[in-house]
Structure 1
Amino acid sequence: MNTRPNRREAMTWLFSASLGTLAAKKLSAGTTVLRDEGRKANFDSVGSRIQKSIGRGDATGVAVAVVQGGQIVWEEGFGWANQEAGVKATPHTPFSLASITKPFTATTIMTLVAEGKLALDEPANKYLPGSQLVGTARNAEGVSVRLLGAHASGLPGIFECYGAEERGLVPSPEALLKMYGRLAYPPAACYEYSNLGFAALNAIALALTQTDLGALMQRRVIAPLGLNNSFFGTDTVRVKSGAGRYDAHGRLLPHYTTSTAASGELYASAHDLARFALFNMRQRTRGQAAILSENDLEELHRPVFAGPSGVATTFGWFRSRTTSGIPVLFKSGGDPGVANRMCFVPSKDLACVVVTNRSNGWELACSVCDEVLTKYLPDWHRPVEDCGFPSKPFVATPAWKGRWQGLLKGGGANMPIQLNIHSDDAATLAIGSGRAEEVTELRSEGEAFVGLCTGNIDSPDAVRTGARTLQVKLLPVENRLLGRVFDIAGDPNIKNVRLPFVLTLSRS
């Protein structure tokens, strides 16, 4: 039989080969799709929805990457990385990750664990020779390294933005812990999302290696995994290649850094995040070094603190399940000009990454992720990144009613404080010599009391930022109330501050 192709067959083969070459070139340019139409899900409807959102002015730039079966099956950029400069977003554009930095920090710490430099379940203070964590009745010794990365250490949250002109105000991790490293709650007693926990991990890494975290992460995680479009936002040269950050009205925000670099300072592309997902799913791709063993990865993914909804924290991630019980790991990132989502399903070799550069991009990022994952997992439902109790109306039982007094500490403040709980919807709070202010929006979160108030805290940071809005959360512990007050200022879509002060109250 003659097996030589005729002229028409030969031309068809050459045409098909040319199309394949063009597709490969298009991919190498970082513009769009890796997919087999006959085998992979069709993402055209997803892309169309993103384009419509950009066309309506609801989004500026978006990049998406999908992993399935050990490879990237789709990656594409939409809109603008920098609209003013005419720079389009691509899958290789570095976007500010905000809190998706946290899993990278946890991975960096785990490389030190793998070398025997520290242990996750040892007291964190063992590795903090400078600024030690402070608690009551020596309970700070119960704060393990693992709890720091799982938002269950008892440390409160913190957030502050710094513009270029405020660079000299950015505290070192040690200075931040010295000012605010006080436990608001007993270790492992409750969930509170805590950037301070990651500042403590930063301080531990610095003490063990004498290396800035950005450089340490570059050397131990970013470079070995071949994440070529990832870097810390403190790199003022490379940050110019990253996507700009836009407020909810599409206005470009000035570049800023934060008080806790380890919790939110990384930039990375959607492509790099997809490769990071492959690494976490034990699907090492070409050019990736084996920086951690399978057991090390299991430690990163193991549940640490589970909330009432079943969502749990791990060392750096959150963990949930689909309706049918398939484990899912996920993380979100949100700062002024940032709204991102990353989910992966290890047992299905499936992941979706969505990064945006708008303050109000949260719903878009989540819904795109949901739409993509539902194509593969019909029982997919959106997991909520929260291990706390749902908010309910406060009931002033006899255990709560009456006058409580004690001290407010942290950030250089050491002030008397008095709380009066009169009824289900009436309470007052007085700080220092200030008058008693009404506490509004009284609610319960599990056993905790929460509410809003105003007041002046005598702290250098509170005075400097003009923070006066107080968000109170108190937990009953052995006939006392322990907790924190967040002193808040600014617009969360533009620039804001959330300073933590720790309270210990006893009945008057």
Structure 2
Amino acid sequence: MNSRLALPMPTIPIDRSPESGESRRQAAETTEATAPAHLARRLSLRRVLAVGLVFLLDGSAVAADRFDAIRQSIRTLLTQRQVPSVAVAVARNGRIVWEEGFGWADREKRIPATADTMYSLASVSKPLTATALMTLVGAGKVDLDKPVNAYLGSAGLRARIGDANDATVRRVANHSSGLAEHYQFFYANEPWRRPPFDEILRRYGDLVTPPGEHYQYSNLGYGILDYVIARQAGKSFADYMREDVFLPLGMTRSAVGPAPGVVQFEAVRYGHDGLPIPLYETDHDGASALYASAHDLARFGLFHLKAHLADQKAILPDSLIDAMHEQTMDEGNGSGYGIGWEIRHDSGYAIISHDGDMPGVRTELRLVPSERLVVVVLCNAEDRIAPMVADQIMGATLPKWKAPARRPESPSAKFTPPPDLVGLWEGKVFTYQSEVPITVQVLESGDIKIRLANQLESLLNFPRYSKDGFLRGVTTGSLEIDDATRRPYVLGLKLKLRSGNVLDGAITARADESSVMPTHGLFPSVAGQPRAERVQSRAFVLAQWTSLIKQ
């Protein structure tokens, strides 16, 4: 079996001179304190001269002092929030000025976190996958404005509405292809396993809005892109990432994982109960499955800021980097999306970024091109500590920057449906296994009654009707699909009112609570493993096409 790791890893963390000023200072203090008295003065003078030289040459001592308050804050937050570890890296003006690990990469084995620890990245995988995609664009093997189906062989996307030929590679990359929200996690201590990707497309490859009409973040889209990369490159996605992205960029602790044979370098993912989460995989590797160290991500960020490090190969020309950072889809919340990157504006700064969030993971990668700044924060728990620390670093390095205010939760206003929505609607949910009759009755009072097949009638909770014409809400019921039997779930509706008499879009089975649930001895076991006493509640969001006609 080919290793997915970029290179064999050393077991001793590497000391890197530009960002290790604090470590050198501590070592000098230790040596001075234990030296004989007649050498202490000489060592002290040498230390003063050395620190002065560092200050003059690279400013790392100043940088280290700047982050001292954040160091203390991280240690306090780790204790307060019961988070196992955080790793950070900051690069400025073409070099790393601070990188450090805090807490435990593996609590049980007492392995400390370092800047070289490999963390699961969750959705920070997307800009890495997009970079690989763009290398194929540069090589003439992929055309961003060609239908993605041209690269999918016998598999392909189905347009439930609109034209599948309009679902271009670019639209898949900027989340406007028409694909619905989607994810699946397959845990090692459970018997369910990921199906072949062609089968995943058969079940969930529906375009539920016309391509280009609407922004909808979709992990499945980046699973499609990793499939395109593998097909066009003629090698596995993991091998292409290692050989054509990680190695040329000097990212020696990065992999598509969990990577076999290198578990000792990976941070264990911990759940909300504080216990290790069993290994899991997704059905969208390009969206979520990558691992990298904070140091490696800082190098990746420097490449995207066109720092042109001497030991990095220019795998993309600057023009293609610019194309990735160009907003081509409006998210509708003041931010936009390019190719693998979110583009937003905070306190007058243009910020190119991505974050990640899945069981046992919270990650932040931020670039500020005008300030030549890269900020990386990685955490092996699903906790807000990652954006909190990233905000602190931004505040310490950007004079004008202020953390965006968190929007207060407004009390739910009484839902008043538009006149065109009031009435009885009948149709079907078209699942990959069957067609399930559905009726939706919208009352003038704002109550919405829903019935699936012969199931009990239920109300739509938290109903809302957005400016772009989507009826949203949450209800109960069953879609009667095998993939959703793994967990209890609720149903999410996102239906577009069209022409006054059609409601269509997606209905999703949602088992996405960030918690742990007991199995009560009823959960299927895995051969050779003890029966699980608890499992992660977060398992899937699975969308199926729905269409209704007003009666």
Q: Same fold (TM over 0.5)?
A: yes
How far has the Cα of 1:136 moved from its partner? 3.2
Alignment-derived partner of residue 319 in structure 2: 295
Normalising to structure 2: TM-score of the pair? 0.82
Matches within 5 A, 1:442-481: 442-446=463-467, 447-462=469-484, 464-479=485-500, 480-481=502-503
Alignment-derived partner of residue 505 in structure 2: 483
Alignment-derived partner of residue 375 in structure 1: 396
Deviations 1:105-124 (A, max 9, x none): 11111111000011111111
Alignment-derived partner of residue 439 in structure 1: 460
How far has the Cα of 1:165 moved from its partner? 4.7
Aligned residue type for 1:286: A
Matches within 5 A, 1:171-320: 171-320=195-344
- Does 2:159 correspond to 1:125? no
How far has the Cα of 1:128 moved from its partner? 1.7
Aligned residue type for 2:82: D
Aligned residue type for 2:514: P
**Preserved CA contact (<8 Å) 1:57 1:250:** no
- Distance (Å, rounded) in 2 between the aligned partners of 1:167 and 1:296: 43
Alignment-derived partner of residue 548 in structure 2: 505
- Distance (Å, rounded) in 1 between the aligned partners of 2:549 and 2:514: 34
2:374 is aligned, of 351, 363, 374, to 351
How far has the Cα of 1:57 moved from its partner? 4.8
Normalising to structure 1: TM-score of the pair? 0.89
How far has the Cα of 1:167 moved from its partner? 7.4
- Distance (Å, rounded) in 2 between the aligned partners of 1:395 and 1:147: 34
Matches within 5 A, 1:383-394: 394=415
Alignment-derived partner of residue 402 in structure 1: 423
Distance 1:416 1:168, change over 3 A: closer
Distance 1:384 1:150, change over 3 A: farther
**Preserved CA contact (<8 Å) 1:331 1:385:** no
Question: Unaligned 5+ residue runs, structure 2?
Answer: 1-38, 516-535
**Preserved CA contact (<8 Å) 2:224 2:284:** no
Secondary structure of the corresponding residue to residue 227 of structure 1: coil
- Distance (Å, rounded) in 2 between the aligned partners of 1:56 and 1:366: 16
Distance 1:407 1:289, change over 3 A: same
Alignment-derived partner of residue 159 in structure 1: 183
Greater alpha carbon shift after TM alignment, 8-17 vs 207-216: 8-17
Alignment-derived partner of residue 106 in structure 1: 130
**Preserved CA contact (<8 Å) 1:331 1:343:** yes
**Preserved CA contact (<8 Å) 1:125 1:132:** yes
**Preserved CA contact (<8 Å) 1:467 1:487:** no
Distance 1:62 1:407, change over 3 A: same
**Preserved CA contact (<8 Å) 2:256 2:291:** yes
Deviations 1:297-348 (A, max 9, x none): 0111110111333200111110011322x31111111111101111110121
**Preserved CA contact (<8 Å) 2:125 2:286:** yes
**Preserved CA contact (<8 Å) 2:63 2:97:** no
Deviations 1:131-175 (A, max 9, x none): 111113552211111111111111012122112255772123322
**Preserved CA contact (<8 Å) 1:158 1:194:** yes
How far has the Cα of 1:39 moved from its partner? 6.2
Distance 1:43 1:167, change over 3 A: farther
- Distance (Å, rounded) in 1 between the aligned partners of 2:228 and 2:503: 30
When the two chains are superposed, the root-mean-square deviation of aligned CA atoms in Å is 2.6
- Distance (Å, rounded) in 2 between the aligned partners of 1:94 and 1:466: 30
Alignment-derived partner of residue 70 in structure 2: 46
- Distance (Å, rounded) in 1 between the aligned partners of 2:62 and 2:220: 48
Alignment-derived partner of residue 140 in structure 1: 164
How far has the Cα of 1:278 moved from its partner? 0.2
**Preserved CA contact (<8 Å) 1:156 1:193:** yes
How far has the Cα of 1:379 moved from its partner? 2.9
Alignment-derived partner of residue 28 in structure 1: none
How far has the Cα of 1:239 moved from its partner? 3.4
- Distance (Å, rounded) in 2 between the aligned partners of 1:442 and 1:174: 35
- Distance (Å, rounded) in 1 between the aligned partners of 2:191 and 2:255: 18
Distance 1:13 1:90, change over 3 A: same
Deviations 1:348-393 (A, max 9, x none): 101111100112x22x11121111112232332446999xxxx976
Distance 1:393 1:174, change over 3 A: farther
How far has the Cα of 1:88 moved from its partner? 0.3
State, as a whole percentage, how many aligned pairs show the same letter: 30
Secondary structure of the corresponding residue to residue 411 of structure 1: coil
Q: Count residues in correspondence.
A: 483
**Preserved CA contact (<8 Å) 1:274 1:353:** yes
- Does 2:341 correspond to 1:327? no
Distance 1:11 1:196, change over 3 A: closer
- Does 2:445 correspond to 1:419? no
Distance 1:506 1:74, change over 3 A: same
